[in-house]
Chains A and B, each alone.
Chain A
Amino acid sequence: MSAALPIPVIQLLQVLTIAIGAPGVTGVIAKVEARLQGRRGPRVRQPYYDLAKLFRKEALAPAGASWFFLAAPLVAVTSYLTIPLLIPVLTTYGLPLGYMGDILGGGFLLSLASFVIATAALETGSPYAQLGSSRAKTFSAITEPVVLFVVFTVALLTGTDLPYALAATVRSSAGQIIRPAHLLAAAALFMVILLETGRIPVETHTGTNEFGMIEEARSFEHSGPFLALIRWGSELKQLILYTILADVFLAPWGLASTQHLGSVILAIVALLAKACAVGCVVAVIDNSFAKLRLFKITEFAAGAFLLAVLGVFTLYLGGG
């Protein structure tokens, strides 16, 4: 085995893995989705080219928009890049900054990012952007209880609400995996992820019809590097949520338990493979279901809420 990496380098690698891997995961999902539809699909590297192109372009802001409009994408991307410090991306052991926030801390950062983007969209005065941000806020208010109940489940399962602790609990025995509370919470989280990343039962990811848009509509007025930051931000958010699902709930294996270079590299590969696997499932769902009408999304959220609440109930009686 080769040399051991210093802890700060591993911590940096967690952020870099998410930052650099995120567009790739989006590319893989787009490719798989196209293949399932019998198209050849864009290159897997296409999201990187898109970002590079947008970063080279001129940035414009609508008349009357204040500095906040331009600051919002920066704040959002900064929050997204902070979250990988808090969750187990590459290691089984907590890194020094890993304990500065718990699951709720990560949740707050995600909401902060979505809040600033929505506010920036409101500031543009463009009707579609405002429509999108209003819808996004409405539905995130509906999914908030689900997220809370998932956090309660985690807290009851582990006695703490640190993501590292849950991953360690899941790894500890098979009995921890085959228990209703864990499976229900994971399923509820998956439904929330579909909602938050704007995937098919909720929103057509690649659609161009403004009336069906929720998250996608918010970035209408941004351009150039700022649009690139927003795109990159939503790719980051997607990979972060997939990482939470895979590394904390479903498959916390393959993480590095030492500081050796080899195991860290293995962990990077494992993480991206797991994220792509989750992405493939999402692509299959994308292709096999129809988009829900806007007012049916509450039913979807009610389903997720049911799963999360049942998870807490089963734990409450003990033995769940």
Chain B
Amino acid sequence: MSGVQAPGVYEGAANVIAAGMLLLEFGMLRQALVRDQIRLYMAQSALISVLAIVIAADRNLPDLYALAALSAALKVVAVPLVLRRLLRRVGLDDEEETVGVAGSNTLSPATAVLAGIVLAAFGFFCFGALGIHGPAAPALALALAAAMVLVSFGLMIVRRDVASQAVGFFSLENAISLAALVVASGLPFILETGFLFDLLVAVVVFGMLIRAHHSRAESLSTADLTKLQG
């Protein structure tokens, strides 16, 4: 009697990279400090570029090399740089954690991880039931992307500070890029880059949000937003 068949090296590698991205998402979920979250986000973005290269090499899609380079430049270098500068400007330096950001988790890390597992399971089995089998799509990587979307939503919900929520939103974008890469890796290059630049809009919006919130409330915590002001 034999077990579940091995998927082959290419699919296996794609799946491993997707699983690694999901694990980094969980890392962000349990990580208390924003600067470490940003580091994990960088690693996740680097992984998605690696995945693009793997798909490009296997499917013979030279466009994807350019996309990988662009995505790495944007998500591994530019976005974290902007985020860090923003945080420094609102006084969230490496040394001081004055803004009530450390420990903005509403759940303890172990509970957060268990809740994340439940969310991920929901995403997994929903996509498993859909049974999408594209030509270039390892079905598993797609399900992992769905799980990542849900976990990053969870991250945005359990965090109480704007900066972590921004990181959660950007990693949500990573999850969607993963799904896009897996399902439609043959998409025209110009469309892919168009989607990529949507991220920049999000960065600007979140930057505005962080600065506006900080200037009004002297804090990054969204707990201050629950009070109604007439």
Contacts and interface: CB of A to CB of B under 8 A. Distances in A.
Interface of A: 155-160, 169, 173-181, 183-184, 298-299, 301-303, 305-307, 309-310, 313-320
B110 interface: yes
Contacts of B8: 175
B3 A169 contact: yes
A176 B1 CA distance: 16
A159 B124 CA distance: 22
A178 to B, nearest CB: 4
A178 B124 contact: no
A interface SS class:
helix
Interface stretch (B41-49, B72-80, B138-146, B176-184): B138-146
B162 interface: no
27 contacts: A160-B1, A175-B6, A175-B9, A175-B12, A177-B12, A178-B16, A179-B16, A180-B19, A180-B140, A299-B113, A301-B110, A302-B113, A303-B30, A305-B113, A305-B114, A306-B116, A310-B19, A310-B117, A310-B120, A314-B144, A316-B124, A316-B125, A317-B139, A317-B140, A319-B5, A319-B139, A320-B15
A314 B140 contact: yes
A159 B5 CA distance: 10
Contact of A156 (B3, B7, B13): B3
Given A310-B19, A310-B22, A313-B121, A319 B9 contact: no
Contacts of A315: 4
B40 to A, nearest CB: 14
Contacts of B138: 319
Contact of B9 (A174, A183, A298, A314): A174
Nearest to B13: A178
A160 B13 CA distance: 25
B interface SS class:
helix
A155 B4 CA distance: 9
B24 to A, nearest CB: 12
B113 A320 contact: no
Interface string B116-134: 1100110011011000000
Nearest to B138: A319
Chain B interface size, under 10 / 10 to 19 / 20 to 34 / 35 or more: 35 or more
B2 A158 contact: yes
Contacts of A176: 6
Contacts of B109: 299, 302
Interface in B1-40: 1-9, 11-13, 15-16, 18-19, 22-23, 26, 30
B12 A180 contact: yes
Given A157-B4, A175-B8, 8 more contacts: A159-B3, A175-B9, A178-B13, A302-B113, A317-B124, A319-B4, A319-B139, A319-B140
B117 A306 contact: yes
A100 to B, nearest CB: 20
A177 B4 CA distance: 13
A320 B140 contact: yes
A319 B15 contact: yes
Contacts of A178: 9, 12-13, 16
Nearest to B16: A180
B30 A299 contact: yes
